[in-house]
A = this chain, B = another copy of it.
Amino acid sequence: MTINEIAQLAGVSRATVSRYLNDGYVSEEKKKRIAKVIAQTGYVPSQQARTLRTGKTRFVGVVIPKINSESVGREVAGITSVLGASDYRTLLANTDNDETAEVAYLNAFREQGQVDGIILIGTVITDEHRRLFEELSVPVAVTGQRVEGVSCVYFDDYNAMYDLTLCCAAGREHPAYIGVFERDYAAGHLRTQAFLDAAHQLGCADPVVERGLFDMGSGATLTDKIMSERPETDALVCATDEIAAGACKRLSQLGLRVPEDVHVTGLGDSSLARVVTPQLTTVHYYYRTSGVEAARMLVEAMEQGNAAVRETKMGYKLVLRESTAADA
């Protein structure tokens, strides 16, 4: 089925069929005839040919750091729902936390004109990223990190972690923090800073900070380190639920009770937070909504030329569960 056959069957020129499919500047009578033929034949225009002619692909590239991460999954769900509704298809590019791959994908999308827009689920934003954003000929939106001059939707990491620390460390003497590398500004830098500020606010003289990766293994290892170097530690604030899960597991292996001996908190409110024993006090992040927001921004930018850059900071909600004392 091509537009030519439809034109012939409907007794009009293919230009008229094309108009029917696009602006719709066609007489009522021909409209009807064309509509009927299309219905009968089940004709679907070739997107390839359309792209070749218009330069628009109706694809959006979504660069993700990790497949099979709950937060990423929720964001992607939000993104595809908006994109699908606007008739864009999603091209998922998984970097597996490889910064080089991330830049490579961004470049590939740019060079080959394969997408009308790009969404990056951000972790570490380098100068290379910033340069790329400038050079990109299609609109971009970033989630999870604030990027100057680029449309983005991010979380209130500082205040979320500040509140969490107050709640976890209140009434405790020796809080410690298990975080991640500083290069991740949102999850590394801001959350650590918030912990330190809150600990200071609570009057803690010498709060401990350790850093590792985003996984349970890291949580377990650093819990070992902290508890052997500072056995007096009585509150463990963790940058993510995964890390907190690893910490809880190790604490129990060390014969320490949570929350009686040590308070523990995570962040993210993943399903993991409800599975582990004890259930984790955490912060709920609106991941799905943040995906929806980013996709909306992008669609707007793709359809209207005037790329008004917008930054959205998402709220959060403290979720108190068993891993901290109820009196917090």
**Copies of this chain, count:** 2
Query: A258-292 interface mask toward B, CB cutoff 8 Å, 1 = contact, 0 = none?
Result: 00000000000001101111000000000000000
Q: Which residues of B contact A74 (CB under 8 A)?
A: 68
Q: How far is the CA of A221 from the CA of B36 in the complex (A)?
A: 52
A64-100 CB contacts (< 8 Å) to partner B? 67-70, 72-74, 76-77, 80, 89-92, 94, 96
Interface residues in A, total, Cβ within 8 A: 39
Q: How far is the CA of A129 from the CA of B326 in the complex (A)?
A: 52
Nearest neighbor of A270 in chain B, beta-carbon distance: B68
A252 at the interface (CB under 8 A from B): yes
> Which residue of B70, B90, B111, B245 contacts A42 across the interface (Cβ within 8 Å)?
B111
Q: At the interface with chain B, which of A46-54, A130-138, A225-233, A298-306?
A: A46-54
29 examples of A-B residue contacts, CB within 8 angstroms:
A46-B52, A46-B112, A46-B113, A47-B112, A48-B48, A48-B51, A48-B52, A49-B52, A52-B52, A67-B67, A67-B73, A67-B76, A67-B77, A68-B72, A68-B74, A68-B77, A77-B94, A77-B96, A80-B94, A90-B92, A91-B91, A216-B271, A245-B275, A252-B277, A272-B275, A275-B275, A275-B276, A276-B277, A277-B277
- A-B pairs, top 3 by smallest CB distance, nearest first, are A68-B73, A277-B277, A48-B51
Q: Apart from A46-B112, A77-B96, what are 7 other A-B pairs with CB-CB below 8 Å?
A: A68-B73, A68-B74, A77-B94, A91-B91, A249-B275, A276-B277, A277-B277
